A and B are shown apart, each in its own frame.
Chain A
Amino acid sequence: MSAGGADRKLILTAALDGPDYARCVRQAQIAEQAGFHAVVAPESSDFRLGGNGEPEAALEPFSLLAALSAGTASIGLIAEVHAAYNEPYHIARKLGALDYMSRGRAGCHIAPGPAAAAGNFGRTGEGGPGPRLLEAEAAATEFAEALRLLWDSWEDDALVYDKRAGVQMDEGKVREIDYAGRYYAVKGPLNIARPPQGQPPVLFAVTGARGRSAAAKEADAAVAPLLSTAEAALMRADMRARMVRNGRRAEDLRLLAELCPVVAETNEEARELEHRLRQAFGAASERLIFAGTAAAVADRIEAWFRQEAIDGFHIAPLPRPDLLPAFAAKVVPELRRRGLFRAGGETSTLRSGLGLARPNNVFATLKRRGGSD
């Protein structure tokens, strides 16, 4: 359980979608006005036609979120990253830049990356998917670890800008990380100072056991495809145990359930819509759908939240453009009336909005303890 007690508030995030920039701007503004904690820009490493749930056309997440940072003021900006097809150094500095530009609103959702996209990143003479794909969760764990070390390669007070003395930085506070993992090798230091949040929050999707293990090691928040409160309780207990085994405090992870909310004027209308959506998704991909009037959807959300297994919901890309605005306009005010959701208009960093502490710099901590420099 996290941030317990009467003050406990629901966390809400929503996915952006599509290649149309103007539409993404509208989605982000709707989410921000409703008081959502963050929007997530999905990554696409591939383009395929006609497949259900296949990656589709999408603007590159960092370009999209950087542009959105100029048109929003308080909402978190989370970029999905495919670890198999990216380098920690590039991603660490983009997140650093986004964090500065948005004044502490950047975050990332690290996913292994679809194997089907390997054809877009092939190297002559290297057959088949590399170890980054074959051991995807382990690679994603390393990726997150390398990001944190790169951000920590600068201590918070490394920059001094002493014009008179001609010293712009304290050299002793910037260091190489010499990261030599199984999947990534990064020397460092990063070429941007430690971000405002110290380390922008890292999200993982948790599905299988290996995903849970990766999240228990590295994630600040985990997004899970959960179908029942019983499943949620089991997931939370499992994550709690895994985190303790990894020497982390169980309350340092936010658990979000993936949700497709379907709000209509009447329950009948909503059920009809839900039926059509389930057909469109296909039997293979079962999803958590709350369908009904605003009050009915709020009831389901409240029941899940009161059980205290999850901290909130992530609204995945919705198949109809009117579903997110309807949720924001009708369900969110209801949640607020019930005291379940924050008032809105708060400006904070993404990290503090999620109720997470700003992490200490690992190298500075070592140095204070008299450890190796």
Chain B
Amino acid sequence: MKKFLTKSFAWFGYLAVLLLLPQFFDSILAVSLFNQMAIAIVFALSYNMLLGQGGMLSFGHAVYFGLGGFLAVHALLLIEFETVYFSIVYIPLLAGLVGLLAALFIGSFSTRKAGTVFAMISLGIGELLAASSLIFVSFFGGEAGVSGDRTYGPPLFGVEFFQGIEIYYLAAAWVFVATLFMYLFTQTPAGRMANAVRDNPERAEFIGYSARRVRYISFCASGFFAGIAGGLYALNYEFVTEETLNAVTSGRVLLMAYIGGLGYFIGPILGAVILTLMNSLLSNYTDLWMLYLGILFLLTVLFLPKGFAGFIMMHRVAWLQRRIGKLVLPYLATGIPAMLFMATCVLMLELSHLEDESLSVLSIDLSASSPFTWIGLLLIATISMLVTRRTLPALREAWEFANHMTDEPESKS
């Protein structure tokens, strides 16, 4: 009962955050950012159904997202030219059904095997569709894509969806519903068996489940939700291009899910938020943001194999033991020099990339041509790295102490 209460509390919190965000940040830019996040959350969660819960590594998940998007924008066009007449709030559902249909077909042969075979088929199909989208211009609109207008449908309670904020509330509603259903899916027998098949397909077969069927069900559900995300995309941007179904989009969703944390339900949500923020804020300040993204991704894979969500969950034991406070000081002692080290590295990268002579940071002018700048930065970098290395054992010790005497093993959700 208590567990149920905390869970519903979390869901209400989620809903409240979704609804209240634009109350605090209401510039056009912020709302556009929230719309992006909403789309990314659904998409990343649907990807996690494959990789995190089903153990299927896909390099072509954008296919279902893109197809959903294209259908949605064609639906907008149909509404505009009065072939059909229904409210645009149902378009994401329609797009989801297209994603489901595509997944039903493709999954029928690709889910036979997991692992490398599955990954390669998904890659092949992704490339095939991305290339075809440029050839079949009448449906995909070539490189300029297909453009529609969301304001021609019947208004919903007087809302005509002129502004981004109106689309945000629509998207938020869809995100909440989609998240809820995706969560409920993990609680169904099919969702539970997906985990079993991921971890040990042979044993799952022995208890009488067809691994292929279980994978197929997850795959179709995942395609459905990716389609919904695609539909939201079409409503938000009012156009869809081949970008939405190419390898870059497939790669980005993998990045989101992985950085956020596979295997944790909340992971992809975190990843979607972090990556969207990085993408739109960082890119305004530096040309090198893609490089930083690459470095962040590799560091995550190397040092946080369970992503950011996994990192947070690591502290559960210490939290339950009420020893989390003991970690604060060592974290600061290691974290601050580590941050300093990274900041200096970033500064050196920016300086060497700079075409102008100097860079002003914290109102200090750094000149790229002066050797003193470089010596100074290298010195700071070296010292901060050494300090980090020196304080690391202390942190490890504190960590072990905080997690000592555990009777509850770290659990996977």
Q: Bound pair: A and B?
A: no
Chain A contacts to B: CB under 8 angstroms: none
Chain B contacts to A: CB under 8 angstroms: none
